[in-house]
């Protein structure tokens, strides 16, 4: 009761605004206004999840099943602004909201019973401590709400990755190969997993994580990211 009054008071003094256009939000809106949601650069990868540029990217490097991205990444576009706020402006709620929006799209397109677990790519514990949260896990939480599939933190990260910028694609994959492992306390054997991350650039991290999960007996691993595109 009191918390609701306090919440209403805060909303009066500091009205919630849209993360993109800064317009005041209605009660039924969360993070983004309806107009900005309608204008998000949504991909249609979920309509051809086995035949799109993400699948082409991972082909031959991991057993490709489905690979999808909610948004198309474009410099100075809405997706870049949202990702920047999610990662660097202490706005974990944006990740949850984007997960919810994408989860609803996936649900409406028949993906209601595809997965047993949703697993985010982990951040290094030190990095997560500094940021306060893992942005990919926030995306997973939103997807979980919309799809009614539990989030299971099955992957662990063992060490810091060296800077990747001057490495070739194969070197990058080798470089991250030793970094990820499956948490021994989690049961992934025979499970159908949706592995999620914030962005797909070279795909090295997602390929490595998918391979680690498949080696430990996952039945299948599908991939979903918030944004992907050529101009990252
Ligand atoms: Zn807006």
The predicted pLDDT at position 172 comes to: 66
Cα 224 to ligand 1 centroid, rounded to whole Å: 24
The predicted pLDDT at position 171 comes to: 67
Cα 39 to ligand 1 centroid, rounded to whole Å: 9
The predicted pLDDT at position 39 comes to: 93
Instruction: Look at domain 41-228 and name its CATH class.
Output: alpha beta
Tens-digit pLDDT profile for residues 200-210: 988 999 999 99
Cα 105 to ligand 1 centroid, rounded to whole Å: 19
Residue with tokens 């690979």: 67
Residue with tokens 């997993």: 193
Closest CA to 131 of 97, 103, 101, 95: 95
> What is the number of other CB atoms lying within 10 angstroms of the CB of residue 5?
9
Give Cα separations from 98 to 91, 135, 166 (angstroms). Answer: 12, 11, 32
Q: Distance between terminal CA atoms of the chain?
A: 46
Cα 195 to ligand 1 centroid, rounded to whole Å: 29
The predicted pLDDT at position 114 comes to: 96
The residues of the chain scoring below 50 in pLDDT are: 231-232
The predicted pLDDT at position 168 comes to: 72
Cα 73 to ligand 1 centroid, rounded to whole Å: 18
The predicted pLDDT at position 6 comes to: 73
Read out DSSP for 6-73? HHHHHHHHS--B-TTT-PBPPTT-BSB-HHHHHTS-B--GGGSTTSSHHHHHHBTTB----EEEEEE-
Cα 160 to ligand 1 centroid, rounded to whole Å: 37
Report domain extents, the chain. 1-39, 41-228
Cα 173 to ligand 1 centroid, rounded to whole Å: 38
The predicted pLDDT at position 229 comes to: 81
Cα 138 to ligand 1 centroid, rounded to whole Å: 21
């Amino acid at each position: 009761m009191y918390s609701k009054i306090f919440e209403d008071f805060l909303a009066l003094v500091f009205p919630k605004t849209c993360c993109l256009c800064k317009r005041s939000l209605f009660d039924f809106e969360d993070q983004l206004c309806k107009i900005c949601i309608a204008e998000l650069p949504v991909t249609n990868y979920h309509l051809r999840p086995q035949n799109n540029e993400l699948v082409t990217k991972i082909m031959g490097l991991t057993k490709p099943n489905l690979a999808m991205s909610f948004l198309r990444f474009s410099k100075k576009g809405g997706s870049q602004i949202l990702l920047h706020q999610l990662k660097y402006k202490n706005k974990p709620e944006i990740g949850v909201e984007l997960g919810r929006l994408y989860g609803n799209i996936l649900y409406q397109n028949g993906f209601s019973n595809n997965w047993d677990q949703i697993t985010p790519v982990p951040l290094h514990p030190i990095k997560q401590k500094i940021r306060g949260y893992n942005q990919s896990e926030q995306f997973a939480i939103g997807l979980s709400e919309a799809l009614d599939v539990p989030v299971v933190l099955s992957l662990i990260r063992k060490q810091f990755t060296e800077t990747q910028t001057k490495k070739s694609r194969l070197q990058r994959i080798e470089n991250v190969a030793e970094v990820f492992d499956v948490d021994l306390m989690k049961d992934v054997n025979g499970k159908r997993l949706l592995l999620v991350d914030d962005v797909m650039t070279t795909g090295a991290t997602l390929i490595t994580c998918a391979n680690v999960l498949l080696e430990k007996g996952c039945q299948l691993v599908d991939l979903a990211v918030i944004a992907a595109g050529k101009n990252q």
